[in-house]
A and B are shown apart, each in its own frame.
Chain A
Amino acid sequence: MDDKQKIALCSAIRTARYSRKVVSLLRDMADNLYKTDSQDLTTSLEHSMDEDLLAVLKGAIQTSSEKTPMEAEARLREVIEYIRNLEEVSFVIPIHPNKEFVKRLHDWCTESIRRDILIDFTVNRLMESGVLMIYKGHYFEYSLENLLDEYFSTHNMDKIFKLEM
């Protein structure tokens, strides 16, 4: 699996939760590789995965040099290990994210942090707004409380009072 395939695979998976599901499916596939036809297994994956991810997985697993089930298993194990070892960045946010927002967040992470990374979410309804990001044990709190504290501590109070009045 080359770097391009790795980046494409990571971009197709995006979230840590989905990566665990993909890993589970790929392990099942590897375990049952000798029992059924690989074509049947690929077909079964079509019902469980997105089209983009499936296309990337097919490109990563099936190569022209594969002749035996053992080689296919080695490729599968390699993909599984790669997905398992991907770095994760966690977000605590006050709303449940939709697919589009997940993509925007993942794009931000691949542009800002590194190209192959997965994101994870925890929804905290008690948060008013903002975000808490956790990466490699570092906490970056940009919640509304903090933003307001920072805003009121750095802005001219007379100006604020005049606006409020």
Chain B
Amino acid sequence: MPALPQFDAYNVLVVLFAISSVSFLFIFGYTIYYWLYKRHHGVKKGVRTIDPRDAAVEEAIKIVDDARGKALGLLQEAHLEAKSILQDSQEVKSSTKEMFEQKMQQLAQKQMQAFDVLAQDLMGSYRTVLGKEKEESLKSFVEISDALKQQLTSEVRAFAGSMKQVTNDTESNIRSGLKTQYDQVSAEMGNLATNLKRITAEAEQGMKTSLGSQYELIQDEVGGLSGNLKKVIEEAEGTLKSGLLEQYTQLKNEVGSLAGSLRKVTEETEIKIKEDITHEYEEARGVVHNFAESLRKATLETENVLKKDVKDEYDQIKKDLQTYKEDKLHKMDGLVLGMMEEVARDVLGKTMTGKDHEELILRSLDGIKKTTNFKEL
């Protein structure tokens, strides 16, 4: 086991002496150095020694004064800035309001002018279309009426022609029949006269030959007979002629009455056709009138709808502009208020005394008391 080192009193004293000597030398040297340093700086600058605490106080006062001056400058600048902003905001408010009203009036006038032009164009186009439709309808009705008239006229003409033809044919047939009978009767009468003349000649010859004396008598009797015969023939011819004339007259009267009734029927048909056409025309006119009325109503409805739409749009734009304006004004008010609050808070907070604070606290508590029922809490 190694032996522990033994402390010797001599060694301890030597070490202590050495430490004290070194410390003494160090303190002595530092003192000399400090004395020389102070002397050197005092002589060099020629300024007497100043207490650092006084310098610090002066420096602090200077800093505080500078800070106060800067703060006052900032406060004045803020006040001037707030004043100019407030003036600008008022000017902006009034000028913006006037500009807005002018713009709104211009916009309203433009909208009204555009609406008038639109309404006039719409009415013009509707009138044009209505006139065209009316003209085309009238034209088509006139064409239909002409076509119907022509067709009916041609049919009536054809009917009248055919009736005339039939009448003429009947008349010619009757005439030819009467002529044939007349010719036949004339021929028979001619033959009868020829035979009678031949018989008379033969009898005269016989009588002349056989009856000498009585010839003259018989000749007279035969002459009388011949005269009677001629008379009979003439009477027969007259009777025949009168009968034929009567039949002709009757036929003529029948054809005349037939033509009259045909004319009457034709006139009635024409009147009826005219009435029908007039009725159709009136109906078509009513339809066109109803169409025009409904078109007018539709135009008015469209106009009203357009007016309502334009008004709604105008109201919406107005409302949006009002909202925008209020929003902007509210923001501007908020900015101005915030600035004023800052200024007021800085000014009031720095200038209120303790008494002022106490009074404000008690007034605040009175405000709480007025608005709160503590028993219900």
Contact = CB atoms under 8 A, between A and B. Distances in A.
Nearest to B342: A148
Given A131-B364, A147-B364, A94 B357 contact: yes
Given A95-B357, A112-B369, A144-B349, A138 B340 contact: no
B372 interface: yes
Interface in A87-122: 91, 93-95, 97, 101, 104-105, 108, 112-114
Interface residues of B, number: 28
B15 interface: no
Contact of B357 (A129, A136, A140, A145): A129
B345 A144 contact: yes
A32 B191 CA distance: 202
B169 interface: no
Interface string A145-165: 101110011000100110011
B345 A148 contact: yes
A148 B344 contact: yes
Contacts of B83: 164-165
Contacts of A147: 364
B365 A131 contact: yes
Contacts of A93: 357, 361
A131 B336 CA distance: 26
Interface in B251-273: none
Nearest to A89: B374
Nearest to A128: B349
Contacts of B345: 128, 144-145, 148
A94 B82 CA distance: 28
Contacts of B344: 148
B354 A95 contact: yes
Contacts of B356: 129
A93 B348 CA distance: 16
Contacts of A133: 365, 368
Q: Residue among B337, B356, B364, B365 with the most chain A CB within 10 A?
A: B364
A131 B364 CA distance: 7
A152 B367 contact: no
Nearest to A98: B354
Contact of B365 (A129, A142, A149, A161): A142
Nearest to B79: A164
Given A94-B357, A144-B345, A165-B83, A112 B337 contact: no
Interface in B63-116: 82-83, 86
A34 interface: no
Top-7 shortest CB links A-B: A142-B364, A128-B349, A131-B361, A113-B374, A140-B368, A112-B369, A95-B357
19 contacts: A95-B354, A104-B362, A105-B361, A105-B362, A108-B369, A128-B349, A129-B356, A133-B368, A138-B377, A142-B367, A142-B368, A144-B349, A147-B364, A149-B341, A152-B340, A152-B341, A153-B337, A157-B333, A157-B336
Interface of B: 82-83, 86, 333, 336-337, 340-341, 344-345, 348-349, 352, 354, 356-358, 360-362, 364-365, 367-369, 372, 374, 377
